[in-house]
Structure 1
Amino acid sequence: MPGRIIIADDHPLFRSALAHAVGKVWPGANIIEASSAAEARAALAAGAAEALLLDLHMADSSGLSVLMDLRQDYPALPVVIVSASEEARVSAAAAQLGAAGFIPKSSSLDAMREALGAVRDGDGSFPDGEPQDDDDLARIASLTPAQRRILAAIRQGLLNKQIAYELTISEATVKAHITAILRKLGVNSRTQAVLLAAKLDVDQPATGSAMA
């Protein structure tokens, strides 16, 4: 029985290009298209998938945090990042955070098929080869989901009482989490934590991508 492949990207034309490549690599696959991280999660909740192709920039997600969250909840799921960003640091970070592959959106369809074929066969596929691990990313990845939510709120500039309200927890619990976050990240202040967490950000290029 054909497996399910989920394509999460908010550009319909690019989803179509990816679906074409997926059809060549996984003939007969049940391709599920999603235009947001929430839709991708709903598709995953509806049944097992053989792979998820994930854009890092959608209406409800931006950067590598979404990859960390999905890897936390679906550790066995191969996640292939498909991104308009071609910075070496982004593909290296994706690899360290557990992605199965990284496909620049400027790739040709042949290159996409080759990369997806490598993932299907259990091999990683990254444009810059085997990346070096980043100690800062390792510390960020060591945070619990609750700690990551609080760190995200800190990055938004929320005060402790606002974080407590948003997450429906006590201020004392927020303070305890922040103390643990600073310790795990090896920093002394919220500002330093915010600066370190910026490594999860991914700049979105202004130029379009090729699909030749």
Structure 2
Amino acid sequence: MAHRIVIADDHPLLRAAVRASVEKVWPGHEIVEAADCAEARAAAEAGGVELMTLDLHMADSTGLQTLMAFRQDFPAMPIVVVSASEDRRIVRNAREIGASGFIPKSAPLDVMREALAAVAAGDLWFPEIAEEEPEDEGGDAVARLARLTPAQRRILALVAEGKLNKQIAHEMDITEATVKAHMTAIFRRLGVINRTQAVLIAHQLDAGAPGVEG
């Protein structure tokens, strides 16, 4: 199967910029553009993906929880986050979750190519803000959320959207009893006692960059 590079971003101009850099680093590779997470996931499931660049805030994305889901479901696929956020907490959490790189969307094209070339060579690439002195910013949240199964992560994301158990059951095509069982497991794995506390932990992943797109 031919090696492919997946560029996942909902902004066509940004996809074009990333594509130009990818073509320099991986000449001759097939490039697949995805405008949302569903398209990106379909491309990953098709196999043969050598690298994915991932925008954290597409329409159907849940920020770093989306990155966590891709890392757990496709552990052999390197992922480079390309994001409008330059908050060090987001950068550090992305690295902790297992991203191979983090490129701010404000980075010049030569920096983007440098980052992608480093990842292509098997290295990691993160901006200098990731090396600043940490302040215990969300690392515990990353560890606890990593314990959840894919179904539990999906349910937690829906809870964070304000959905009730009945609505979650309908959306996921499962029974309310199954939702309740998952919620009990989520509380246990996160070390919380209610939905509000669970949602607060989920939000810690992307805390520090409210309202940021990408």
Answer yes or no: same fold by TM over 0.5: yes
**Percentage of matched positions with identical amino acids:** 60
Q: Once the 2 structures are TM-superposed, how far is the Cα of residue 205 of structure 1 from its aligned partner?
A: 3.7
Q: 2:100 maps to which residue?
A: 100
Q: Deviations over 1:122-171 (max 9, x none)?
A: 11111134586811211011101111122112212222233223323233
Describe how 1:92-171 pairs up with structure 2 within 5 A: 92-127=92-127, 128-129=129-130, 134-171=139-176
- Within 2, Cα distance between the matches of 1:130 and 1:181? 32
Query: By how many angstroms is 1:204 displaced?
Result: 4.4
Distance (Å, rounded) in 1 between the aligned partners of 2:32 and 2:171? 32
Unaligned runs of 5+ in 1: none
Cα distance in 2 between the residues matched to 1:55 and 1:170 = 32
Structure 1 stretch displaced more, 120-129 or 140-149: 120-129
Deviations 1:36-63 (A, max 9, x none): 1111122223331110011112122141
**Counterpart in the other structure of 1:203:** 210
TM-score (norm 2): 0.88
Check the 8 A contact 1:136/1:196 in 2, yes or no: yes
TM-score, with length taken from structure 1: 0.89
Give the aligned partner of residue 173 of structure 1: 178
Letter in 1 for 2:210: D
Q: Note the alpha carbon deviations across 1:23-45, whole angstroms, 9 max, x for none.
A: 11112221111111111122223
SS in 2 for 1:86: coil
1:152 match: secondary structure: helix
Are 2:165 and 2:180, in contact at CA under 8 Å, matched by a contact in 1?
yes
Unpaired runs of 5+ in structure 2?
none
Task: Give the AA of the match of 1:40.
Answer: A
Aligned counterparts, 1:74-93, within 5 A: 74-93=74-93
Change (3 A) 1:14 1:158: closer
- Size of the aligned set, in residue pairs, is 207
- Code of the residue aligned with 1:73 in structure 2: it is D
1:106 match: secondary structure: coil
Q: Partner of 1:72 in structure 2?
A: 72
What one-letter code is carried by the residue in structure 1 that aligns with 2:88? A
Paired residues of 2:62 and 2:157 also in contact (CA < 8 A): no
The root-mean-square deviation of aligned C-alpha atoms, in Å, is 2.1
Q: What's the CA shift for 1:203?
A: 3.4
Asked if the contact 2:159/2:199 (under 8 Å) is kept, the reply is yes
